[in-house]
Amino acid sequence: MTDKNIKYFTTGEFAKLCRVNKQTLFYYDQIGLLSPVLKNEKGYRYYSIHQLELFTLIALLKDLGMSLHDIRQYVKHKSPEKFVSIMYQQKEKVAKQRMEIEMKENMIDAQIELMNKASSIDFDQVSVEQLPEQTYYLSKNIENVSDEEFFEVFSDFVDELYKLHIDTGYPIGGLTKRKQVLKGEFTNYSYLYIKQLHSRKDNPYYKTIQGDFLTGYHIGEDKKIHHTYKRLLSEMNRLNLELGDYVLEEYIYDTVVKTNEEQYVTKIMIHVNRKKN
């Protein structure tokens, strides 16, 4: 401290209060962002207690991604009006970051849920399950598209999930309409989809119907999945069931958790109806 009536802090003391090293304060002084209020004849530098609030603001804006250049421009031309304007801008940024963090947390929860469920599944089993109505976000139609067109649609779909903050962490699947399945075009998907917990207005959502689904699993490479489809359709006939409106297909295990494609697991859910006598 120095002077009798005014309290000052040395560079070391002020750095400790700000929880930074002295070099940070030297640099801020060098670029004209935050300079000591006093430098005596011996070269000692002193900061005022009032500058602690300014440093706290600088640290906050920096943490929120504001450049030191922009912060310096505010410091040089600060005013109550400009301060309030900056605070509103940063509040919007924090709200957006909070939304993104919540989305990521939901994605993590979904991934944990899926993996925990998968650990108790017998992948050799074929069963008929009654599934509730589900809401899916759909891509553009991809029936009969070329490889190049498929890439474009898939890329656009992923971009939409990010921009709309609707990536729920559930797997991206393929929906195949009845007519494709009947023709044996099991991977001529009609749409890509991702499960949604909440629907929003003006988005291309698809609601599945509550009903029975013949569910089985394909283990191995995608190019061999037609063998599993034929096995499931044979089981469907044995159980006196007929093909419903669509088939849903999505990965259970893929490159995220398995090294070899031979170990990948795909879940196939065939909408079915009881045959009328």
149 within some domain: yes
Contact of 131 with 210, CB cutoff 8 Å: yes
194 within some domain: yes
Identify whether residues 240 and 140 lie together within a single domain.
Answer: yes
191 within some domain: yes
Identify whether residues 55 and 67 lie together within a single domain.
Answer: yes
3 within some domain: no
Determine how many CB atoms are found less than 10 A away from the CB of residue 200. Answer: 11
Cα distance between residue 229 and residue 196, in whole Å: 26
Identify whether residues 130 and 71 lie together within a single domain.
Answer: no
Q: Residue 78 phi/psi, 5° resolution?
A: -70, 150
Q: What is the DSSP secondary structure assignment for residue 10, as one 8-state letter?
A: E
Name 207's bridge partners: 135
Counted domains in the chain:
3
User: Strands 265-274 and 211-219: what pairing?
Assistant: antiparallel
- Starting at the earlier edge strand, list the strands of the sheet with 45-48: 8-10, 45-48, 38-39
Q: 1 in helix, strand or coil?
A: coil
Which of the listed residues 65, 96, 120 is the one where a domain comes to its end?
Answer: 120
Identify whether residues 191 and 248 lie together within a single domain.
Answer: yes
Which of the listed residues 91, 120, 149 is the one where a domain comes to its end?
Answer: 120
Which of the listed residues 102, 120, 138 is the one where a domain comes to its end?
Answer: 120
Identify whether residues 254 and 182 lie together within a single domain.
Answer: yes
> How many Å from the N-terminal Cα to the C-terminal Cα in the chain?
97
Domain hosting 177: range is 123-274
Contact of 101 with 153, CB cutoff 8 Å: no
Identify whether residues 190 and 233 lie together within a single domain.
Answer: yes
User: Strands 241-253 and 265-274: what pairing?
Assistant: antiparallel
Give the pLDDT confidence score for residue 139 in this predicted structure: 95
Give the pLDDT confidence score for residue 5 in this predicted structure: 58
Name 213's bridge partners: 129, 271
Cα distance between residue 5 and residue 174, in whole Å: 75
Identify whether residues 96 and 130 lie together within a single domain.
Answer: no
Site of tokens 């906050």: 60
User: C-alpha 92: how far from its chain's center?
Assistant: 19
Handedness of CA 210, 166, 90, 35 (dihedral sign): positive
Identify whether residues 182 and 139 lie together within a single domain.
Answer: yes
Contact of 192 with 142, CB cutoff 8 Å: yes
2 within some domain: no
Identify whether residues 151 and 232 lie together within a single domain.
Answer: yes
Give the pLDDT confidence score for residue 198 in this predicted structure: 78
Pick from 81, 88, 90: which is nearest to 58 by CA?
90
160 within some domain: yes
Identify whether residues 39 and 101 lie together within a single domain.
Answer: no
Give the pLDDT confidence score for residue 205 in this predicted structure: 83
The parts of the chain modelled with pLDDT lower than 70 are 1-6, 201-203, 277
DSSP assignment of 158-181: HHHHHHTT---SSPPEEEEEHHHH
Identify whether residues 58 and 47 lie together within a single domain.
Answer: yes
What's the CATH number where 179 sits?
3.20.80.10
Contact of 86 with 74, CB cutoff 8 Å: yes
54 token code pair = 């300014």
43 within some domain: yes
Contact of 10 with 45, CB cutoff 8 Å: yes
Identify whether residues 52 and 129 lie together within a single domain.
Answer: no
1 within some domain: no
What's the CATH number where 20 sits?
1.10.1660.10
